[in-house]
Structure 1
Amino acid sequence: MILAGGKQGGTWLLNVEKYDIEGVLTAAPNLSYRRSGPGCIMYNEEVYVAGGYNAGSRLSDVEVFDLKTNVWRIISKMNNEREFPGIFVYDNQLTVFGGYGTDPRSIEVYNGISWENSKDTLTKDFYQGVLVGAKCPV
């Protein structure tokens, strides 16, 4: 498990920690941006941390942690600032949606270079949900 960012008292964090199945917690390299409430997902053996909130501002920044090299890199910003967005992989594409911010019904897809707004939108505002990967029956 990767713990990334958060808030302690009035301070937004950039700390990152790894928690393994043995119950051992170890420090990992810090995020580039302090943040709480980002969307996070594991995709292609990397951890993506998207959006969040920092001291009065919602974020559109996205950072990627390579578990093999133990290094963070920054990829292009999302088009919308998002706090507590949903993030998942659909049709082998990284996808974010909703969250507090510019448009809680919008959907963006990462094409490997930049984020593209989807023509589809959610039917209701989405905030602070939980995602579970499941194959739905037809």
Structure 2
Amino acid sequence: IGGSSGKQGLASVERLDLRSVCPKWNNSEIKPMLYSREAHGSVAYDSKIYAIGGFSQAPDGSGICLDSMECYDSRKNQWTPTVSMRVARCGMALTVFNDKIYVIGGGNELNAKTKLKGVEVFNFKTGKWSNTKCLNHGRQYGSAVVLDGNLYVIGGDCESKPTVEMFVPSENKWELLPGVLNHQGSYRTIALKS
């Protein structure tokens, strides 16, 4: 979903059909997004795909950080604009947690000098964005994962050394976990129960 050609942002979407005998990538069946996006986030919820924020780069190299969110309905093969975030951001971590989208940190440009601490939450029931408690440390290009009913944000390009923070919903706070990661960077994480 989106990305960069190296010269400009992409709005195209590619699909891999794993049910096929010979799985192949296909980008001709799915309509492109409304905006080109790189350093954005995508989540799936209730049979729909949401593309959020990111950076939209023009062929001349100019670009803008996005606050927009768009939704893909596979039954209609159509992207539609939805409610925009309160703050434009790219390189943020995001995930679905407790039937809400959490958009965590990021920056106001690619490789921003100032990393965002802010966290926005989209409530599917109300269709509105709200702010929740800020991170302890701003971070861009971190990763978010849910495990055992807790939300974690991990590493990234941080204001301090790369850390892990856990969101405690009952107290509406981010708790800094002990230890420091060995690497900063644009990696992704998954939760796998053993």
Q: Does 1:46 align with 2:89?
A: no
Q: Does 1:2 align with 2:50?
A: yes
**3-state SS in 1 of match to 2:115:** strand
User: How far off its partner does 1:100 sit?
Assistant: 0.5
**3-state SS in 1 of match to 2:118:** strand
Alignment of 1:1-138 (within 5 A): 1-9=49-57, 10-22=63-75, 23-55=77-109, 56=112, 57-112=114-169, 113-122=172-181, 124-136=182-194
AA aligned opposite 2:176: N
Normalized against structure 2, the TM-score is what?
A: 0.65
Alpha carbons 2:158, 2:184 under 8 Å: kept: no
Normalized against structure 1, the TM-score is what?
A: 0.89
Identify, as 1 or 2, the structure richer in strand. 1
AA aligned opposite 1:17: E
Q: Distance in 1 between matches of 2:165 and 2:64?
A: 29
The alpha-carbon distance between structure 1 residues 104 and 85, as it changes in their structure 2 partners (threshold 3 A), is farther
User: How far off its partner does 1:8 sit?
Assistant: 1.5
Q: Distance in 2 between matches of 1:126 and 1:25?
A: 34
User: How far off its partner does 1:105 sit?
Assistant: 2.6
Alpha carbons 2:115, 2:159 under 8 Å: kept: no
Moved over 4 A (4+): none
Gapped regions of structure 1 (runs ≥ 5): none
Q: How many residues align?
A: 135
**3-state SS in 2 of match to 1:59:** coil
User: How far off its partner does 1:110 sit?
Assistant: 0.9
Asked which structure has the greater CA Rg, the reply is 2
Root mean square deviation of aligned Cα: 1.5
User: How far off its partner does 1:104 sit?
Assistant: 4.7
Aligned to 2:40: none
Q: Distance in 1 between matches of 2:161 and 2:73?
A: 34
Deviation track 1:72-118 (CA, whole Å, cap 9, x = no partner) reads: 11001101111011111122111111010223531111112111111
Aligned-residue sequence identity (percent) comes to 27
Q: Distance in 2 between matches of 1:103 and 1:64?
A: 24
Q: Distance in 1 between matches of 2:93 and 2:54?
A: 12
